[in-house]
Homo-oligomer: A and B are copies of this chain.
Amino acid sequence: MSAKDLKPNYHHGDLHDSLLQAATLIIREAGVDGLSMRKLADRVGVSRTAPYHHFRDKQALLSELALKGFRQYSQQIDALFSDPALDGTQRLEQFVRHYLKFALDNPELYNLMFGQALWKSGSPSDALRTEAHATFRDFVKRVGDWQQQGVLPAGCETLRFAQVAWSTLHGLCRLVNDGIYVEASSIDEICATLLSLFRQQLGAISPAG
């Protein structure tokens, strides 16, 4: 037998995927902090150390979850940009709203993808690093397009603008997700302000103009 997919009563079937799936559920219910390797194993119905034959350690498991998150995110964004009914301005607005929605709908996943747990102290897997970089490159490219289309200001290096814009989006997501400030009700207004700021349409600075 070559394909392991067809044997549901091997030792487990496909423990690797079952673990990822169960981990996703636990994280949704109890947050990343509520996920332990032991509870995870228990949930799937195997012994405590069984997962260690499929993931080097807990971080490796989390890395794969984050990786799946990036794939999911990219897919959603690609879908958004392949809609031919939207012009550049609408795409920018939709992108911003979608980014926030993704982060706010999946706070724990977002935290995994863009949090210190995986990135700090150098552990992220190569696959994760690659995928994340691709995601950022993609964003920079879109910012460049928007600049060319006159949707975003052109008198500014694309990379720098992209870094600042991403900082803004990321910062807002974190402030909300981490419970630091902003009730959900204000988000639409903040989002509008943020878009006006990016487009440099906040009104004249000098009253002497």
Contacts and interface: CB of A to CB of B under 8 A. Distances in A.
A91 interface: no
B199 A205 contact: yes
B119 A150 contact: no
Q: Is the interface of A mostly helix, strand, loop or mixed?
A: helix
A115 interface: yes
B205 A164 contact: no
A164 B154 contact: no
Contact of A154 (B151, B181, B189, B207): B207
Contacts of A198: 197
B167 A175 contact: yes
Contact of A205 (B154, B161, B171, B206): B154
A24 B36 CA distance: 28
Interface in A128-146: 132, 136
Contacts of A170: 171, 174-175
A49 interface: no
A80 interface: no
A193 B200 CA distance: 13
A200 to B, nearest CB: 5
9 contacts: A111-B116, A116-B179, A120-B177, A122-B179, A156-B196, A157-B189, A166-B171, A170-B174, A171-B173
